[in-house]
Amino acid sequence: MIAEAGLAALWLAAALTALQLALSLGIAGPVGREVRTIRGVSIAQAVMTLTAFGLLILLFLRSDMSVLLVAENSHSQKPWLYKFAGTWGNHEGSMLLWVSVLSVSGAALALLERRLSDQTLSASIGAQAALGLGFFAFLLFASNPFERLDSAPVDGRGLNPLLQDPGLAFHPPTLYLGYVGLSVAFSLAVAGLLRRDVGPDIARAMRPWVLGAWVLLTIGITAGSYWAYYELGWGGWWFWDPVENASLMPWLAATALLHSVNVLAARGGLRAWTMMLALVAFSMSMVGTFLVRSGILTSVHAFAVDPERGAFILALLAIYIGAALTLFALRVAHVKEGAPFEIVSREGGLVANNLLLSVILGVVFVGTLYPLIAEALTGDKLSVGPPYFNAVATPMALTMAALMMIAPQLRWRRDSAAILPRLLPGLLVALAALVISLWLAPQIGLIERSALAIGLGLVPASLLPLIGRSLRRTPLATWGMVIAHLGVALSIIGAASNSAFTVEVLHAAKPGEQVQVGPWLIEFRGVRPAVGPNYTAIEGELRATRGNGVSVLHPQSRYFTSPPTTTNEAGIETFWNGQLYLVLGEEGEGGKWQLRLWWKPFVTLIWLGGAFIALGGLLALLGRWWKGRSNRTDKTPKRRKGYR
Amino acid sequence: MSRALRFAPLIVLLLFVAAVVWRLAVPVDQKVPSRLIGKPLPAFALVAGVPGKPGLKSTDLALGQPRIVNLFASWCVPCAGEAPQLQALKQAGVPIDAIAIRDRSVDIQAFLTRYGDPFDRIGSDPESRVQLALGSAGVPESFVVDGRGVIRYQHIGPIEPDDVPRLIQEMERAQ
Amino acid sequence: MRLTVLVLALLAATPVMADSDLPAARWANEQLPDPAQEAEASKLMAELRCLVCQGQAISDSNAEMAGDMRALVRTRIASGQSQEQVRTYLIERYGDWISYNPPVEPKTWPLWLAPLVMLAAGALLLRKRLVRRRSP
């Protein structure tokens, strides 16, 4: 019964979405009570969608093997957390999650947004409903998650063991929340263009959504990167794999949007550009979902290709993005230009940020799709991988980081040479880092050295906006910016240090043998069998000593039976100045075990930086929300002072 | 903003959709064909894979008659699957040599006893060196080499019954 | 194909079957004694694509064939060949596909020019704006 109820809820939700769209289309003239009706319908359809999703979770938790999806992706012996997470660890479930987030976002927009005119609000809810309708159709006609089997199998086929990891259980939903959160910015932009109402109000309505989605994307990407790092067992943290690129592209667009939306909200500038970015950001979410789900790009994440479903999502994507971009092309001439500014101004800095981010986005897009285009045109296969992306994106990212040393301190509209002394702390630290690194580590490459210098210089530079003002009265949004920029600095330092200073030792060792890895002396003590909830393993014992410090690490080789797979579980120990990363390989001749040992100085800063960036976004979001609340109660238009 | 520029994003979308539609129509071919087809074999000399049968040198494949070189391994399941087809080729008069990839003599022997031995020579390639030199991307694979030691045709994956006529045809063309 | 539902076969998880019993090749998991040569080899191994696990570099793969390719790279670098010679050797056999670093040739010009073109276009667009704005 549960599956049938779920399907019914899904149909009901789809019908309510259609109603939502019809109602918002109906409002063309004067505004009546319909907005309130639309709100009600939006909330009702979100509740229905959530019900369907909840029922699917229930089916997974109860291991109801008469449901096709459960039988194919779950197993009754799995720990409950992975039964739960298994709900979205497959195509149909993840699409239902996607639709649920879309519905909830629409309802939240309807419920919370009070700044926009009723017409613009209902237009944006209508746009959101239009998006939802397509994806409901996809679920109901092409990937029904509630399909029953005629005869239930004794047990399910299990979930890929690599996915049986608490981090990964919550990695996809976090990314999805971020992806789909951007749909609201898209709908608002569509509404603004439709209603010829592109101005600071739209930007302010958009800002919390962009911030929230961006925070989730940041968390999702950071967690995904750390997961790949410790689970794949080769010490890499970013592979420029098509699926990673697919998640990076919306993030890059959202980061640009996050900065331009501020220019529009505070200064009324960059109107057309901001609308474009809002459309691009969610478009990239759809493109990313399509690329991952259709499996048309060869990737580490090898999904089964299903051309029929691929074609369905592609059709949706083409219709939505095509319609939005056409609307943009037709209406952009009517979008008014904003207030003028000079190149040396905060706007100038933000424009430079947007330019570089957009070009990086373009490069990732072109690089990811180029093999496809080249093969279509010439028939030759070629690969575009890390060497290309690193060579092209790194210099631009570093330029951006260098600009970040100064841009946040610039004033709106125009600034002067008086700003120069404020450059000094960052510049001095960067210079010192350069000299010291030349002296102590002459062997490292130019890119790593510049990255270290810029990253270190950015640490004091990013803190400068706090200097000379009362910390308690500094707005939360400013704190957010400072912390996020500091996070960027940390990530750059971590990546540069990892790339420049990592020590790698591959060694086939007998029990009792000792190996030197950077500052560490590592003794291989031997192996013993170990048992987990649904796997057996061989566990190595490695004793690492440095000075007086002793750590014992236990890397494992795990064997799963359903489905049969082996995985490496690295032994990782974190210290203040780096990570030991030890992997137990196969047994070789003469009782020797293949060991892969790494000492990675300051590598953790990469993800710590990511966490700071997300935290910064969160603070900014809280700050805006707080400000929004106090503005609503306090009617004096204080915020108007800023722009004229 | 100029008129052309306004439509630029739409054009990018169009290109994307076109490329992707092409891919959906022509699914990914995971095979990586060798670039050496039409080129002479790289020089190699492999020791015998099983006792009592000669090893394989590149010069053995330039003796005037076209031959098939089959890359196989005892641990490779599809290789067992294509064994009957190799026998059929042998019966049709096609001379076949083999390169055993990452294998042990005893295992090869057991494999041949179980699935038949259509091979005139078997070279052992324990570190896939010759395989890599030939531009082969896995096992099983079969190369048609003409009498002058030039690679004429590559068959990737197990030889299915339907593939036998094709291979015989390629052998005739290599005459 | 109702049953081809998302086989998320992340390739670090190698299937237990279909592997030989032979130990890895000598230089598959052993570093070259000369650190400079090892660094050369490492850099190249990170740029070569694994033939059997197509989404990974041979430096990041557990596949046996990736190990044999690492052995090939290390042996050739140790014998004094340059990175480019080894890369060319493999490209002659497998095509450009094998290298993650696309060669600069007519069919990849758009790829390598894309960033410059985009930067230039962006700068041009911006410059127009700024000039117009300075003279109100």
The 10s digit of each residue's pLDDT in A45-70 is 999 999 999 999 999 998 888 888 88
Q: Rg for chain B (alpha carbons), in Å? A: 21
Q: By the CB < 8 Å criterion, does C94 face chain B?
A: yes
Determine, for residues C97 and A382 on separate chains, whether the beta-carbon distance falls below 8 Å.
yes
Determine, for residues A370 and C110 on separate chains, whether the beta-carbon distance falls below 8 Å.
yes
Q: What is the rounded (10 degree) CA torsion for A393, A395, A399, A400?
A: 20
With CA atoms as reference, the chain A residue closest to C42 would be A504
- The Cα–Cα gap between A52 and A248 comes to 30
pLDDT of A626 reads 79
In this predicted structure, which of A150-164, B2-16, B90-104 has the lowest mean pLDDT? A150-164
With CA atoms as reference, the chain C residue closest to B107 would be C21
pLDDT of A162 reads 62
- The Cα–Cα gap between C20 and A35 comes to 68
Cβ pairs A/B, distance under 8 A = 60
pLDDT of C101 reads 94
Shortest Cα distance, chain B CAs vs residue C109, angstroms? 17
Confidence of residue A306 (pLDDT cuts 50, 70, 90): low
For testing contact with chain B, the best of A296, A319, A358, A368 (most B CBs within 10 A)? A296
Handedness of CA B126, B130, B132, B135 (dihedral sign): negative
Determine, for residues B23 and A372 on separate chains, whether the beta-carbon distance falls below 8 Å.
yes
Which among A276, A373, A381 has CB closest to B19?
A373
Confidence of residue C77 (pLDDT cuts 50, 70, 90): very high
Mean predicted confidence (pLDDT) in A221-232? 88
pLDDT of A297 reads 73
Confidence of residue A471 (pLDDT cuts 50, 70, 90): confident
With CA atoms as reference, the chain A residue closest to B10 would be A325
Encode pLDDT of A5-48 as tens digits.
999 999 999 999 999 898 888 754 445 567 788 889 999 999 99
Shortest Cα distance, chain C CAs vs residue A160, angstroms? 7
Give yes or no for a contact between A120 and A36, defined as CB atoms under 8 angstroms apart: no
Chain C, 115 to 134: residues with Cβ < 8 Å from chain A are 115, 118-119, 122-123, 126, 130, 133-134
Mean predicted confidence (pLDDT) in A458-476? 87
Shortest Cα distance, chain C CAs vs residue B92, angstroms? 30
Contacting partners of chain C (3+ CB pairs under 8 A): A, B
Mean predicted confidence (pLDDT) in C14-37? 77
Encode pLDDT of A339-385 as tens digits.
777 788 888 889 999 999 999 999 999 999 999 999 999 888 899 99
Residues of B in contact with A292 (CB under 8 A): none
| Residues making up chain C, counted from first to last | 136
Which among A298, A386, A507 has CB closest to C46?
A386
C-alpha separations of B50 from B60, B72, C21 in Å: 17, 14, 17
Encode pLDDT of C83-132 as tens digits.
999 999 999 999 999 999 999 999 999 999 999 999 999 888 877 666 54
> Is the predicted pLDDT of residue C8 greater than 70, yes or no?
no
Q: Over chain C, what is the mean pLDDT?
A: 81
Pairing assessment for the beta strands B96-101 and B67-72 based on DSSP bridges: parallel
Shortest Cα distance, chain C CAs vs residue B150, angstroms? 14
pLDDT of A23 reads 86
- The Cα–Cα gap between B54 and A312 comes to 57
Q: Over chain A, what is the mean pLDDT?
A: 88
Q: Quick count: other Cβ atoms within 10 Å of Cβ A528?
A: 11
Determine, for residues A232 and C60 on separate chains, whether the beta-carbon distance falls below 8 Å.
yes
> Is the predicted pLDDT of residue A163 greater than 70, yes or no?
no
> Is the predicted pLDDT of residue A325 greater than 50, yes or no?
yes
Determine, for residues C49 and A370 on separate chains, whether the beta-carbon distance falls below 8 Å.
no
pLDDT of A299 reads 56
- Collapsing DSSP to helix, strand or coil, A453 comes out as helix
Residues sharing a CB contact under 8 Å with residue C29, sequence separation 6 or more, in sequence order: A506, A508, A585, A594, A596, C67, C70
CA atoms within 13 A on the CB side of A386: 17
Q: Rg for chain C (alpha carbons), in Å? A: 22
Encode pLDDT of A69-107 as tens digits.
888 888 887 788 888 888 887 888 889 999 999 999 999
Q: What share of chain C is helix, strand, coil (3-state, %, to 5)?
A: 55, 5, 45
- The Cα–Cα gap between B35 and A380 comes to 11
Tokens 């029953």 found at: A148
DSSP string, A52-77: HHHHHHHHHHTT-TTBHHHHHH--TT
Percentage of residues in chain A with pLDDT exceeding 90?
Answer: 56
- The Cα–Cα gap between C115 and B35 comes to 31
Shortest Cα distance, chain B CAs vs residue C36, angstroms? 24
> Is the predicted pLDDT of residue C40 greater than 80, yes or no?
yes
Q: By the CB < 8 Å criterion, does B31 face chain C?
A: no
With CA atoms as reference, the chain B residue closest to C95 would be B35
- The Cα–Cα gap between B87 and A459 comes to 71
Pairing assessment for the beta strands B45-46 and B122-125 based on DSSP bridges: unpaired
Encode pLDDT of B98-122 as tens digits.
999 999 999 999 999 999 999 999 9
Q: By the CB < 8 Å criterion, does C97 face chain B?
A: yes
Encode pLDDT of B113-164 as tens digits.
999 999 999 999 999 999 999 999 988 999 999 989 999 999 999 999 999 9
- Closest by CA position to A404, among listed A484, A499, A293: A484
In this predicted structure, which of A161-165, A374-378, A523-527 has the lowest mean pLDDT? A161-165
pLDDT of B28 reads 76
pLDDT of C79 reads 95
Chain C, 40 to 59: residues with Cβ < 8 Å from chain A are 42, 46-47, 49, 53-57, 59
- The Cα–Cα gap between A502 and B2 comes to 50
For testing contact with chain B, the best of C22, C56, C86, C98 (most B CBs within 10 A)? C22
Q: A55 vs B31, which has greater pLDDT?
A: A55
Q: By the CB < 8 Å criterion, does B128 face chain C?
A: yes
> Is the predicted pLDDT of residue B18 greater than 80, yes or no?
yes
Confidence of residue A114 (pLDDT cuts 50, 70, 90): confident
pLDDT of C18 reads 60
Give yes or no for a contact between B46 and B124, defined as CB atoms under 8 angstroms apart: yes
Residues of B in contact with A328 (CB under 8 A): 6, 9
Shortest Cα distance, chain B CAs vs residue A317, angstroms? 9
Q: Over chain B, what is the mean pLDDT?
A: 92
C-alpha separations of A140 from A9, A12, B51, C56 in Å: 11, 11, 63, 35
pLDDT of A27 reads 54
Which among B32, B101, B126 has CB closest to C97?
B32
In this predicted structure, which of A131-135, A157-161, B54-58 has the lowest mean pLDDT? A157-161
Confidence of residue C14 (pLDDT cuts 50, 70, 90): very low
C-alpha separations of A411 from A69, A271, A408 in Å: 56, 20, 8
Determine, for residues A506 and C30 on separate chains, whether the beta-carbon distance falls below 8 Å.
yes
Confidence of residue C15 (pLDDT cuts 50, 70, 90): very low
Residues sharing a CB contact under 8 Å with residue A278, sequence separation 6 or more, in sequence order: A185, A186, A188, A189, A206, A210, A257, A261
- Collapsing DSSP to helix, strand or coil, A414 comes out as coil
> Is the predicted pLDDT of residue A642 greater than 60, yes or no?
no
Residues sharing a CB contact under 8 Å with residue A247, sequence separation 6 or more, in sequence order: A175, A217, A220, A221, A224, A288
Determine, for residues A296 and B32 on separate chains, whether the beta-carbon distance falls below 8 Å.
no
pLDDT of A296 reads 76
Residues of A in contact with C23 (CB under 8 A): 588-589
pLDDT of A489 reads 97
- The Cα–Cα gap between A333 and B6 comes to 9
Confidence of residue A135 (pLDDT cuts 50, 70, 90): very high
Determine, for residues C64 and B30 on separate chains, whether the beta-carbon distance falls below 8 Å.
no
